[in-house]
Every structure is written in C-alpha cells, then in structure tokens.
C-alpha cells in the first residue's frame, strides 16, 4: 500500500484519498471545519492547511509575504512556502507533509481561527454546542490569544426558525457549508443556500421554502459549531453531564447505529446522535429515527397487571403459570421489535411447553431510497432466523378462533393490522403479554408482565442486511420492568422448566448456537466523523 509521511509518521492510503482523509483513517485529526468524510470538500475554512515539502532537488512554490519586523519596527517581505488545503490535496506516495511541525502552518491556523472569531458572539454559556464545539477546542489548541478587534462586530439574524426542527444563529456560523452540502448531496433537497459575501455571508432557506422532510436534524449533527440547534434538544441539557451508549435505532429494519446520550443522575435519555457505520447507515440517521429515543420514556408499562388490576411481578407470574399450565393448546408469539436475546429465551420456553409458534410486529409504513425502510420492526430478520416456520398474526387469529389455542404468550404488543377484530379474536384465549409499551395486545391481555426497553438492557438486533448488531445498556429499567429473557426464565422456573440460563452470557451462548450463520455488522475502522 502506498504511503506518505505526516510530521514524520508513515501514513498508508488508498488511491484517491486526500491527505486529510488518509490521516483521519489512522486516527489523526488535521484541524478542520468544512471537511466531512461523507460530503464533498470545498476547502471553505482553510483550517486544514498543510505544508508539502518539495521532492529532493526541487524548489517548491514560495510566496512573498509582508510581515512586521518587531526589531526594525517596520514591515518587510519574507519568503514562505505556499500552504495547501489537505482536504483537496490527494495523497502521493513518498511525499512529506508537515502540519504540527511546521511553524508556517501553526501560524496560519492561528490567523484562520482569529478571523473566524472576529464577529463571533462570546455566548458559550448558553450555546447548546458548548462542550463539543470545534471553535472552543481549536481556540485553545491553535490560537489561545485575546481578541484584538475593538470595533463593533457585525450582527446577523439570531434565532431564525429553519422549519419546525432547526434554529439558526447567523452570528455563530463559520460558513463551513456542511449543512448546505448535506441537504444537496445526501438528502437530495437543496433547500439551504449561502447569501451575501464577506462579513455579511450567512446561510438561508431558499425563497418560498422551509427546511422540512425526513433528514432535517442531520444539519445540526454536521454543524461543527452552535449555528444550528434542534428544537428538540435546545436548552434541555448540558453535554458534560451526559453519558453516551452505543445503541441501535429501533425505528425501522435499517438498524442505524446511534449514540444514545443520557443523564445517569435522572435515568433519562436526551437525544440520539448518528454513529458512523459505513456498512449500515454511513454517517447519517433520519429524523423519525433520531427522535425515536423518546419512546424509552413514553407509554411505558411499568407495573404488572392481572385482569386489568396492578399486581406484583410474582403474583403476575403465578397467574400466567395457571393460564399456561391449564391450557389445552399453547402458542408463543415472537416479537419482531424485541431483541434476539428475548426471542431466543421465548423459543426455549415454547419448546419446553410444546407450544405452537407465531410472530407479530408493527405494520409496514413509509420508505425512501436513503435510509428509511417500510418494515418498522428492528428485528424482523433476527426472528426469521430463530423461527423460520412461525405462523403470522393472521394464522394466530384463525387458530384461536377455531379453539386450537387456549393460551397465548406474546413478546411485544404491536399488531400488523388496525382491524379491531385482530384483538377481539385474541380474547378467545387467555393472553399473557410481555411488553415494553402500552398497545393493542397489552390492552387485551389477561396478564401483563413489563419488560425492559432496548435502552435498559443490552440486546442484539439483526437488521435488513442480515447484520447482527449489539445495543448497549444505557439506563436502568423503569418500574418493575426487567429484561425480557430474565422474566421468561422466571416464568419457566415457575412452570417447572429450567431453561438453562440465568445470566446474559448464558442467553447469548444459546443464541450463538441457535443462529450460528448470522454475521456481525463491521464497525468502521476509521474514527467517527467529528461534528
């Protein structure tokens, strides 16, 4: 593989890589604002300038620079090498690049940084980007000087509503144009544009338009400063109080990788951020997916119920035991929205009970050709691997109506139909629902056992591409909810069946045996794209 030297370090690269991309793949950050690995490179900010040493025996391009001579107290002309933007310069085998070791580069960064901050408001304490802002980081690393401008700064529009989800602050904007390029290149909706020039330059929405659609929140995600903020997260939390867990979006079968940011002090989730995985979602997420974190706290089932009345978990398990033990025919129903761990545990119990096997999940919905899939269940592919011969929900209704099934154990509460008859048919049997949220099946169930949401326990989900992806635990389970596999193990023990697992690693060992062919989604070898 070809390589070049960056400050003396050997950097391998693939043909076509720019200097900044090759360095980024090796975990080295060349300072930048406008560059993003998923977008075009306009070289707007000039922060990524580097010095490229000419080959041995050749003279590089030299520029005449007027500089102040402190000793002579006069201006003089000096020769300096021409610095080049690393985001647009392709890597060349054997070349030598200077960044941190070049005094010319260091000085240029300082000047660029100072120019960006000339009119920038010093409102860091109330800025949602505070704590994860490139301006803050680079000022400390590459400038660290006092503001020399004494004139009144240029004032621009603040608090401008770009549609329903995004607020724009023109004074904070560094004109990196990431937002403009994202909407044009990824969202395929060139609704954002630049207007005016120089100090008056700002981002605006095209006349007669507003920022709308399914990918508006990504413009805030790609913004390196606090110019674009989301109405959902704005003024809600300070990032230094938040912790982050690597999770999988539950909005559809795409299984986009995400960071779930939460405050452990309140056991509360505050936002999703896109997590890079080129094999699944590249660098992006859709708006419905980024807002789906709210489901962790909404419409939750927090207490067990028996015949619609609150009960202890023990009492509910005993009631479920009575229904299953006395049934003339038992069915288990896998949930396409639940983890592989929960579903393999249910399969183990179903096998012990000699139960018939079915599957349920949410109905199909909107899809696009970017990320959003019609299948709104996060683990359809995983359930298909565990129960390839399972009957669908229509078959379950028919079996109950015929009297072949008198007790139904359901993992989840969604149904693929809005038909009122879908639930009324289930009332012909005694239904036990293991569910996270309120829903049709839970309302019709004789016994409801609350289980932990995806953010409250570690779980595996198989996306539409067949990749098994693990979602980390972030929050503690709410109410009396516990991981689904744990509740199933207790129910099995009450029925006299040792299912062979009492710990998560034991469940995953059974899962590995049940689905040995499933592949794991590869993680990007490069570090994540910085905001």
Mean pLDDT within 325-334: 91
The DSSP-derived string for 449-482 is: EEB--GGGS-EEEE-TTSEEEEEPP-SPPPTT-B
Q: Please, which residues have CB within 8 angstroms of residue 27's CB and are 6 or more apart in sequence?
A: 526, 527
DSSP secondary structure code for residue 432 in this structure? E
Q: CA-CA distance, 334 to 79, in Å (whole number)?
A: 73
For the chain, give the percent of residues with pLDDT over 90: 74
Segments making up each domain of the chain, as ranges: 3-101, 160-296, 304-520
Is pLDDT of 30 > 80? yes
Instruction: Please name the residue that has the structure tokens 């120019």.
Output: 115
The DSSP-derived string for 89-157 is: SBP-TT-EEESTT-HHHHHHHHHHHHHHHSS----GGG-TTTTS-HHHHHHHHHT-------SPPPP--
Mean pLDDT within 516-528: 65
For position 434, what pLDDT does the model report? Answer: 96
For position 428, what pLDDT does the model report? Answer: 75
For position 516, what pLDDT does the model report? Answer: 78
For position 524, what pLDDT does the model report? Answer: 63
Q: Please, which residues have CB within 8 angstroms of residue 317's CB and are 6 or more apart in sequence?
A: 449, 487, 490, 491, 494
Give 92-112 pLDDT, tens digit per residue: 999 999 999 999 999 899 989
178 contacts 43 by C-beta, under 8 angstroms: no
Reduced to 3 states, what is the DSSP secondary structure of residue 73? coil
Mean pLDDT within 5-24: 96
Residue 207, Cβ neighbours under 10 Å: how many? 6
Confidence of residue 521 (pLDDT cuts 50, 70, 90): low
Is pLDDT of 202 > 70? yes
For position 530, what pLDDT does the model report? Answer: 63
Give 177-192 pLDDT, tens digit per residue: 999 999 999 999 999 9
Fold category of 3-101 in CATH:
Ubiquitin-like (UB roll) (3.10.20)
For position 140, what pLDDT does the model report? Answer: 85
210 contacts 183 by C-beta, under 8 angstroms: no
For position 71, what pLDDT does the model report? Answer: 85
Output the CA torsion 99→104→110→111 (10° steps): -130
The values of phi and psi at residue 292, to 5°, are -70, -10
Domain 160-296 has CATH 3.40.640.10: no
Give 255-294 pLDDT, tens digit per residue: 999 999 999 999 999 999 999 999 999 999 999 999 999 9
Q: CA-CA distance, 449 to 443, in Å (whole number)?
A: 12
376 contacts 252 by C-beta, under 8 angstroms: yes
Instruction: Measure Cα distances from 530 to 90, 274, 341 in Å.
Output: 21, 11, 33
Mean pLDDT value across the chain: 91
Mean pLDDT within 111-134: 89
Q: Is 223 exposed, middle or buried (0-12, 13-18, 19+ CB in 10 A)?
A: buried
Confidence of residue 531 (pLDDT cuts 50, 70, 90): low
Q: What's the pTM value of the predicted model, to 2 decimals?
A: 0.91
Fold category of 304-520 in CATH:
Rossmann fold (3.40.50)
């Amino acid at each position: 593989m070809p390589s070049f030297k960056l400050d003396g370090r050997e950097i391998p690269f693939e043909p076509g890589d720019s200097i900044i991309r090759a360095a980024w793949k090796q975990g080295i950050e060349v300072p930048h604002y406008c560059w993003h690995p998923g977008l075009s490179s306009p070289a707007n900010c000039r922060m990524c300038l580097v010095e490229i040493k000419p080959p041995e025996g050749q003279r590089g391009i030299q520029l005449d620079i007027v500089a102040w001579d402190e000793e002579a107290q006069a201006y003089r002309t000096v020769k300096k090498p021409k610095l080049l933007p690393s985001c647009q310069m392709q890597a060349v085998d054997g070349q030598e690049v200077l960044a941190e070791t070049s005094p010319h580069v260091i000085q240029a960064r300082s000047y660029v940084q100072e120019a960006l901050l000339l009119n920038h408001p010093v409102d860091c304490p109330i800025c949602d980007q505070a704590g994860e802002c490139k301006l803050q980081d680079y000022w400390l690393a590459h400038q660290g000087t006092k503001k020399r401008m004494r004139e009144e700064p240029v004032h621009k529009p603040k608090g401008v509503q770009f549609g329903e989800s995004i607020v724009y602050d023109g004074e904070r904007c560094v004109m990196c144009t990431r937002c403009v390029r994202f909407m044009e290149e990824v969202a395929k909706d060139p609704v954002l544009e630049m207007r005016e020039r120089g100090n008056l330059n700002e981002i605006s929405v095209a006349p007669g338009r507003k920022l709308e659609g399914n990918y508006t929140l990504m413009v805030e995600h790609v913004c390196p400063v606090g110019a674009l903020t989301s109405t959902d997260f704005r003024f809600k939390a300070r990032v230094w109080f938040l912790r982050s867990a690597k999770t999988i979006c539950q909005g559809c079968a795409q299984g986009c990788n995400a960071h779930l940011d939460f405050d452990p002090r309140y056991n509360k989730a505050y936002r999703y951020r896109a997590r890079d995985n080129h094999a699944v979602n590249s660098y992006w997420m859709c708006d419905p997916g980024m807002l789906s974190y709210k489901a962790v706290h909404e419409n939750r089932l927090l207490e067990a119920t028996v015949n619609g009345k609150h009960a202890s978990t023990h009492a509910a398990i005993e009631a479920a035991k009575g229904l299953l033990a006395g049934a003339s025919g038992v069915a288990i129903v896998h949930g396409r929205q639940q983890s592989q761990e929960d579903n393999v545990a249910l399969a183990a119990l179903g096998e012990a009970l000699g139960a018939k096997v079915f599957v349920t999940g949410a109905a199909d919905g909107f899809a696009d050709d970017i990320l959003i899939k019609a299948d709104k269940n996060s683990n359809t592919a995983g359930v298909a691997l565990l129960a390839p011969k399972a009957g669908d929900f229509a078959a379950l209704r028919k079996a109950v109506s015929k009297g072949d099934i008198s007790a139904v154990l359901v993992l989840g509460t969604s149904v693929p139909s809005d038909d009122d008859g879908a639930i009324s048919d289930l009332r012909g049997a005694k239904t036990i629902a293991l569910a996270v949220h309120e829903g049709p099946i839970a309302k019709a169930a004789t016994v409801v056992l609350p289980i932990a949401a995806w953010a409250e326990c570690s779980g595996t989900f198989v996306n539409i591409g067949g990749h098994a992806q693990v979602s980390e635990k972030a929050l503690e389970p709410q109410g009396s909810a516990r991981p689904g596999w744990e509740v199933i193990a207790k129910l099995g023990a009450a029925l006299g069946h040792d299912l062979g697992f009492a710990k998560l690693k034991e469940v995953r060992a059974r899962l590995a045996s049940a689905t040995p062919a499933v592949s794991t989604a590869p993680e990007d070898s490069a570090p994540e794209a910085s905001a």
